[in-house]
Structure 1
Amino acid sequence: MKKTLLLVVGMLVAGMSFAQEATPDSTATANDTYKTKYTFLPYAIYAPETSVEGGVLILRQFKPKGAGADTRPSNIEFNPAYTLNNQWKINLKHTYIAPGEKWITTGRFTLRKFPEKYFGIGNNTSDAQERRVDWTAAMFTGDWAKQVKPGMFAGVQVKYNRYMNVMFEDCLECNDEQLGEVIPGEEGGTAAGIGLIYKWDLRNSVMTPVRGHYLEVSTLHHGKATLSDYGFSSLKLDARKYFDFSSAQNGGSVLAMQAMGQFTFGDAPFRELAMLGGDGQMRGYYFGRYRDDHYVTAQVEYRQDLFWRFGATAFATVGNVGNSVENMMENIKGTVGAGLRLNMNKKDRAHLRLDYAVGNGTSGLYMTFGEAF
C-alpha cells in the first residue's frame, strides 16, 4: 500500500513538471464567427463476437452563447450501433465549456447489450481462460468542475453503473480451480460512486490538442451512502503533454505524451477493476484482456500532417496491471502501432481516427473521432 502511494505521488510530480504555459491557448475564433459544425459518419465493421456491426458516429462542435475567443469549443458525440447477433449499444458523451471557461462539465452515458471477453484477474492470465460475458448495462460517468484560476478547475464527479442479466459462458479449457472461481460482481448489481476531481487543462483544444498540457487527479468512493452494492474506492491520475514542431504553429507536426494510473482499493466487481487495453491506452490489447486492482501505462505518439486533410501517426505504449507495485513489474506489456487521420473540420480540428496496433500475440484496429489522448 505504501509503495503504491509512493508511485501515485511520483506520477503526480512528473505530471506537474509538464507545465509551461499560463493560460489556455485557444485557436478558435470568437463566437460571432465560430460556426457550429456537424459531422455524420455511418459505418460497418466486423468482429467474431458481434458479426457485422452497423452504426453511425455523429459529432457536434459548438460554442455556447456568449463564448468568445477565450473559450475553447465544446462537443457532443452520439454513437448508436446494432449487430447481426442482436446486440446493441448507444453511447453519448460530451464536453461542455461555459463562456469564459468559468466551468467545464464532461460526461458519458451508455446503454448496451453487448458481449465481452473475460480472462480472469491478474497480469498473467492465459488465452485458455477466455469466457464470454453477456450482460445489459446502463452506465453514466460525469463531472462538474469550476474554474479556480485560469486553466485550473476543481469540482465533483459521479458515477452510476447498473449491470443486469450477467451471464458467463462456460470455460471449456479452464482447470478445476478456475472453474470454481468466484468472480466478484458476477451477480450484477449497482456500482455507484461520488468523488472529487481536479484538472489543470492548458490544451489548445479538448478534442484534438496540439499544444499545452493536461493533468487530472480524481477520486471516487462507492458504498452504502452512495447506494452502491459494492464498497470500494478508486484514484485516477492522468498527465499529458503536447509539443507542436510546426513552424506555422498549426499542429502539423506534434509529439504527444501521456502517463496514466488507476488504483482501486476495496471489493470492486470485475467490471470496475482497472482494465488494460482499448482505443485510448494500450491500443492493440482487447479492453479488459488484463484487469486487476491497479493499472499504470505510458505512451508516446508522433502526429504528422500529410496532404489535404490527411495525416498519419506512429505510437508506442508500455503498461501493466497488478495488485501491488512489485506485481506490476512482472510481465510488462507493450504495443506499437500506426494510424491515419482525416480532418473533418478545417476551422476547428476534428480528426477521424483509424489506428492499428500490435502487441505480444495481439492486435487491434480502432476507428473513432478525436485523438486517443
Structure 2
Amino acid sequence: MLKISLPFFLCFIVSSVNAQNASNAIKSNNQVTDTANKRDLIDIAKRLFNIQPGKERETNAEKKIFFSALPIGAHVPGGGRALITSTSAGFYTGNHKTTNISNVTFTPYWNFKSRFGLPLRSNIWLKNNAWNIQGDTRFLVYPQYTWGLGSGAEDHKLLVDYKYVRFYQSALKRIKPYMYVGLGYNLDYFINIKTAKPGLKEFTGYPYGTTYSKNEFSSGVTLNLLYDTRNSSINPLPGCYLNVILRNNPVYLGSKTNWQSLYIDARKYIQLNKKPNQQNVLALWTYAWTGLSSSIPYLNLPAVGWDPYNKSGRGMEQNRYRGKGLLYFESEYRRDITANGLLGFVVFANATSVTEVEKNRFKNIHTAVGSGLRIKFNKSSNTNIAIDYGVSKGYSGFMINLGEAF
C-alpha cells in the first residue's frame, strides 16, 4: 500500500471542514437522530487546527452538502498497486424527515503504468423521495485476469487487456410507499480486447466477444423495480432493499447480438439492540444474476465483483468466477467500538457459485471471510472509512473504501 503522510491526509479533512457546516443530525428509521455526542475525523481536525465553527448560514439546511475525501494506495484488479482518490458527497434535496440522503462518488485511480480509471456513480433522491435517479459512468483502462467460465483452476488464468466505457442511467418513480418502477439505458463499450497467446476465444472456448483486437458494443434498455425502506445507501441503517433489473439489448440499438439478462438484488439490515445511536447491526445481502440468451458477450457475463457497484466478493479477486449464471450471498456484523461512534469493526463472510461449462449447472461453492475497521469520517452523512481484509482460497487482500460495501 502506498504510504500517505499525516499532513497530506489531514489537508483533505480540513478541506471537508471548510466545505460544509455540518448539522448535528442524521436519519435513523426515517427519524432525525442527534449526533452532538458523536465524533468523526472532522471533529479531530477542528481540534488539531483550532478551527472554530462558523455562523449558521441562513440557507435551507436540507441543501447542505457533506463532503468526504480520501487519498489511498491499494491493490487493483488485474494486479499491481494504484493511487486512488475517493471523493463522496452526501446531500438532501428535500426535508430530512421525508427525503433520503443522496450520494455522488468519484473514485479516480492510476497505477503509474497501464491501469487508469474514472468512475462516477450517483444515487439521487428527489424531494420527498418522489423519484430515484441512478447513474454509473466510467472510463477504464483495464487489464484484468480471467479464469474462463465456471470455477476454473487457480493457476490457469489469462490477462485480458482492453479499454472500457460504461454509461448507465435510470429514473424510477414512486408508485406507493418505498416502491419504485422505472426505465433505464445501459451502454457497455469494450475497446480493443487483447490477450497474449492463447487468445481469449481459445482460452475460454466461448465464441461471443472474444475475437482478438476487436471491439464489443452493447446498448440496451432496462426495466427497473425497486423496493427500499433504507434511508441511506452510504451506511444503511435497519431496513430492507430489493432491486430487480431486466435488461434487453437489441441489435437496432447498436448491440452486435440480441441478448437479455436479469439481475435480482436483496438486502436486509437487522438492528440487534434498541439503542438508535449505537451501531450493532447484522447485514445480509444476496443476488442472483443470469443471462437469458446464449449470445451474451464474454465480458458482459455475470462475474463476481462485477455487480453494479463492484462490491461483491470481498476477499476474492474480481472476475475470479464467471458463468452464464451467478448466485451470491454475504453476511456482515457491524458494531461500534467507541461510544462516540468514531471507531467500529465488522466481520464478514461471503459465498459465490457460478454455472459450470458442463451442463450449465451450479456445482461448486466458493467462500471468503474477513474483518475490517471503521473510522467515522463524517457523522452528518454517516460516512465511514472502511478498511477490510479478506481471505479466500489462493487469494487475500486489503480493500479501502468510503462507505459500506452494501
TM over 0.5: yes
What residue in structure 1 maps to residue 217 of structure 2?
190
- Aligned: 1:107 with 2:138: no
The partner residue of 1:263 within 281, 286, 290 is 290
Give the CA deviation at 1:233: 0.5
Structure 1's 290 and 54: CA in aligned 2 closer, same or farther, altered over 3 A?
same
What residue in structure 1 maps to residue 52 of structure 2?
none
What residue in structure 1 maps to residue 275 of structure 2?
248
Q: Hey, what's the Cα distance between the residues in 1 that align with 2:358 and 2:390? A: 26
CA contact (8 A) 1:145 1:153 kept: yes
CA contact (8 A) 2:74 2:81 kept: yes
Map Cα deviations across residues 208-257 of structure 1 (whole Å, 9 max, x no partner).
11211001111001121322113211111111111112332135100011
Q: Which amino acid aligns with 2:188?
A: N
Structure 1's 344 and 180: CA in aligned 2 closer, same or farther, altered over 3 A?
closer
Structure 1's 257 and 47: CA in aligned 2 closer, same or farther, altered over 3 A?
closer
What residue in structure 2 maps to residue 5 of structure 1?
none
1:66-215 aligned within 5 A: 66-123=94-151, 125-171=152-198, 178-179=202-203, 181-186=205-210, 187-215=214-242
What residue in structure 1 maps to residue 66 of structure 2?
37
TM-score (norm 1): 0.85
Q: Hey, what's the Cα distance between the residues in 2 that align with 1:63 and 1:96? A: 9
CA contact (8 A) 1:27 1:204 kept: no
Q: Look up the SS of the partner of 1:344 in the other structure.
A: strand
The partner residue of 1:319 within 336, 345, 352 is 352
Q: Which amino acid aligns with 1:158?
A: Y
What residue in structure 2 maps to residue 25 of structure 1?
29
Map Cα deviations across residues 287-313 of structure 1 (whole Å, 9 max, x no partner).
111101100111111000112411100
Structure 1's 39 and 361: CA in aligned 2 closer, same or farther, altered over 3 A?
same
Q: Which amino acid aligns with 2:391?
A: V
Q: Which amino acid aligns with 1:362?
A: Y
Q: Hey, what's the Cα distance between the residues in 2 that align with 1:63 and 1:236? A: 28
Give the CA deviation at 1:282: 2.3
Q: Hey, what's the Cα distance between the residues in 2 that align with 1:250 and 1:48? A: 36
Q: Look up the SS of the partner of 1:225 in the other structure.
A: helix
Structure 1's 63 and 325: CA in aligned 2 closer, same or farther, altered over 3 A?
farther
Map Cα deviations across residues 162-203 of structure 1 (whole Å, 9 max, x no partner).
11121112259x9xx955945521232211111201111001
Aligned residues: 345
1:351-362 aligned within 5 A: 351-362=384-395
Structure 1's 329 and 118: CA in aligned 2 closer, same or farther, altered over 3 A?
closer
CA contact (8 A) 1:356 1:366 kept: yes
CA contact (8 A) 2:145 2:319 kept: yes
Give the CA deviation at 1:144: 0.8
Q: Hey, what's the Cα distance between the residues in 2 that align with 1:48 and 1:235? A: 25
- Aligned: 1:350 with 2:383: yes
Q: Hey, what's the Cα distance between the residues in 1 that align with 2:346 and 2:77? A: 27
Q: Hey, what's the Cα distance between the residues in 2 that align with 1:141 and 1:48? A: 21
CA contact (8 A) 2:79 2:144 kept: no
1:221-370 aligned within 5 A: 221-266=248-293, 267-277=295-305, 280-307=311-338, 308=340, 309-322=342-355, 328-370=361-403
Of the structure 1 ranges 35-44 and 151-160, higher mean CA displacement relative to structure 2 is found in 35-44
Structure 1's 325 and 185: CA in aligned 2 closer, same or farther, altered over 3 A?
closer
Map Cα deviations across residues 313-352 of structure 1 (whole Å, 9 max, x no partner).
0111122010699855412111111111112111221122
TM-score (norm 2): 0.79
Give the CA deviation at 1:262: 0.3
CA contact (8 A) 1:28 1:72 kept: no
What residue in structure 2 maps to residue 57 of structure 1?
86
CA contact (8 A) 2:101 2:231 kept: no
Structure having the higher Rg: 2
Over the residues paired in the alignment, what is the CA RMSD in angstroms?
Answer: 2.6
Structure 1's 55 and 327: CA in aligned 2 closer, same or farther, altered over 3 A?
same
Unaligned runs of 5+ in 2: 1-27, 34-58
- Aligned: 1:219 with 2:243: no
More strand by share: 1
Q: Which amino acid aligns with 2:324?
A: D
Q: Hey, what's the Cα distance between the residues in 1 that align with 2:278 and 2:160? A: 42
Q: Which amino acid aligns with 2:367?
A: G
CA contact (8 A) 1:219 1:234 kept: yes
Structure 1's 28 and 168: CA in aligned 2 closer, same or farther, altered over 3 A?
farther
CA contact (8 A) 1:50 1:85 kept: no
Of the structure 1 ranges 40-49 and 87-96, higher mean CA displacement relative to structure 2 is found in 40-49
CA contact (8 A) 2:149 2:357 kept: no
Structure 1's 107 and 51: CA in aligned 2 closer, same or farther, altered over 3 A?
same
CA contact (8 A) 1:350 1:370 kept: yes
Q: Hey, what's the Cα distance between the residues in 1 that align with 2:156 and 2:208? A: 16
Which consecutive aligned stretches of 4+ in structure 1 deviate over 4 angstroms post-superposition? 46-50, 177-180, 323-328
